[in-house]
Structure 1
Amino acid sequence: MFFKQGRYSGFITPLSYIMDLLVVNLFTNFLPINFQNPILFHSYITIAWVVLSFKNEFYEVHRYSKVVVILRKLFTQFVFFFLILYAYIGFFKQPLMSRLALGKYFLLVFAGVSVLKFLSYTLLMKYRERVKGNIRNVVVIGKSKKANQLIDVFNERREYGYQFMRQFSTKDANFDLISCFRYIANNNIDEIYCSVSELKNEEIAAFIDFADNNLKTLKFLPDNKNIFSKKLKFEYYDYLPILSLRDIPLHNSLNAFLKRMFDIVFSLIVIFGILIWFGPILALLIRLESKGPVFFIQKRTGFDNNEFYCFKFRSMAMNKDADTLQAGKNDMRVTKIGKFIRKTSIDELPQFYNVLFGNMSVVGPRPHMLKHTDEYASRVDKYMLRHFVKPGITGLAQVRGYRGEIEQDSDIQNRIKFDIFYVENWSFFLDLKIIVQTVINAFKGEEKAY
């Protein structure tokens, strides 16, 4: 899967994109439009459709979205598509193109895309309602009027795909935050909904910390309390307003799909352009200097706190502390060839296989050893937030100088700050910037790469 399994319908948006683009391009064959350059026309309408979709958020349809939202998106998308379509005639000087046939083509595409849009929307609703697939387990904190209304929405609107598990009330004599958190952790709860009016500020802060550190989605039924200093995202479940605390760009299925496609292409270029010939040379040098395997394979913590095997070229002599002790400055375990490949980050190149297999991404928070994940999860606030996305070969923290050995608490704290910033502010251009900076740092050599 490209992203969180069972919670995000990762294939739906990319599949919708492909189907719509097929409609946009194939329907040109049904009418005598008389465009002179087919390749130019198809490229033009494909790029126009993709750009408009991004701009209009055409594929941002959530499980709780209403039909009116889809109608509004269709209207906005096709108004601009109509203008761009007819602009092709003047922009590329196409006097022979049939305006009437182009109009019929537009209506045909509008009908085709609309049918696909509503068909996928309806089928997914029925899938959640009848098959009980794509379900999210939820709990509600509070027994206010709005909290009870929300529970009614969860129970009655089965097509939304929410499985209501339990309601907690802070007014109950036996209510206890620790017991509440234990239930959420032990029962595979995906989302927590809090009635703000029934929670004290310190309880709200406790829920925020718990959700951040345990990879749970936290949302609020709003009132007039001023509890946040950051911009929040409003959503509507039926007619109930819900506040979402954190909006993660890579939980958008289209963003995740694009990032995954980039990862596949980039990793294939590195594997067939560099590793296929450079790997055997480096393997020979490693084996000549010290006995042992060419690759160092270690369990790391990855996406959604799942474990995976991370690949590296072996840079140390064989030792029993490899899985527990990080390499330090002047570490006697590091071989001569190991010093070079660590300094230039060449030892990380086999991780492009991890990227190709889907365990990692080219850019993301660096994966930590299992021992360190357990240690830092309890010591560093918000540490677990970094596992909302796939780990990367390089990351924002690394290009800002926070890599290698963690010598003091400020090292890991600053690293996590950059990781969280990346998770909350991801963009394709940020990934490109990090990759360029990583290449520059590899040629320069880094102070803490030992």
Structure 2
Amino acid sequence: MLDLVVIASVFILFFADRNADLMQDNEVWSFPLLLLVSYWVLLSGRTQIYNIRRNITYTTFLERLITHFLLFVIGLVLIRKVSNNQFFGSELSWLSLYLFFSILLTRSVIYFVIKYLRSLGINNRNIMFLNENSSTRVLKNILKERKDFGYKIFEFQNEAINIEELQLFWKKNGIHTLFLPLETTFDKNTEDSIFKLAEANKVHISLIPNISQNDWFLYDLGYIENQPVLHQSSYPLDNYFNFIVKRIFDILFSVIILVGICSWLFPIIAILIKTTSKGPVFFIQRRYGFHEEVFGCLKFRTMVVNDDSTTKITAENDSRITRFGKFLRKTSLDEMPQFLNVLKGEMSVVGPRPHMLAVDDYYKPKIGRYSLRSMVNPGITGLAQVNGLRGDSGDREVEMKKRALADAYYVRNWSFVLDLVIILKTIILIIAGDKNAK
């Protein structure tokens, strides 16, 4: 409702500013306004901007909003072409700009206010986990860290499941959702009893697939009439049109950055590297790329020359990092030479970050569908990075699983708008400073 009020207000203000004498004629603006808000509402069913789950990230939130708004403006242009109504006669570029920032501001304020209230414990949803394994622990870790998602976890201490005790626990704590692994260690009777009890008590059950189960990521659920069937998954960038769009954008964006910024920035960085430490300006590291083909990833050298650079990952306060190298890493300027990798087709502007060969070889057998990352070109920046998932702090096994899941999400849900949002968030992180950078 607030969005519709904003839309109506912006359009009426623009119309009144240019046609004050026609404001008294309701027929001139009332029906066109009804047409616009109806189109906005109908379009929202397709773009899902009002299907906002409590665990939606701001990246996905922005992606949906931008996609929705672009489609709305396209529709507005078409309406304007076929209509002679003066209500659509406002300067479209300025009107669209005001409308976009008004909607973005109001929706973002609401989004962050709700997130803040949930982080304070207001508007929580009570949940619990049963029969925990490595996959449920990853999710539990995420929900504990992201207090703004608004989940309050209740621990059921009894290892042996007693149906009556479980029901009392649900009622006492007002449990809304029960998280279970897809494959439990319960016997068939106990599992059936839990599902029936949950249905009777209106407790939602969410099943968590084991991320080492490859088949879960290989198929999508579809229907033939009412019969559910599993179809082999296809990824957005398997579509040749999507691939071409992404590649053209990569080339154009890289040329603009290399000519407009790197042409004068590279010599300055090169001089500072040479004057602050001994060794080459650039550091080339072999990494896995598309379909796990090895390529030479280009970076500015940020460490003293050492024998462990290809096998040992960076640690907190790593003594190998030079003083100027620390600045380069903090601002992500050490990654700038990778735009040359993008031009060569070895990388993309946005995609899963490439790892050292030793890191990939270590985690591939440990994390199911880890190799899904290689279904697209690796990127200079990525979804995991802008969400602080670098995989090199805390419990590294858990953090790397979270990073791999973020990369898998990107591969399966790529869109051009998602790339734009990730680039925007990357620019903000560079300006503000990335606290997770080492």
Give TM-score scaled by structure 2 length: 0.50
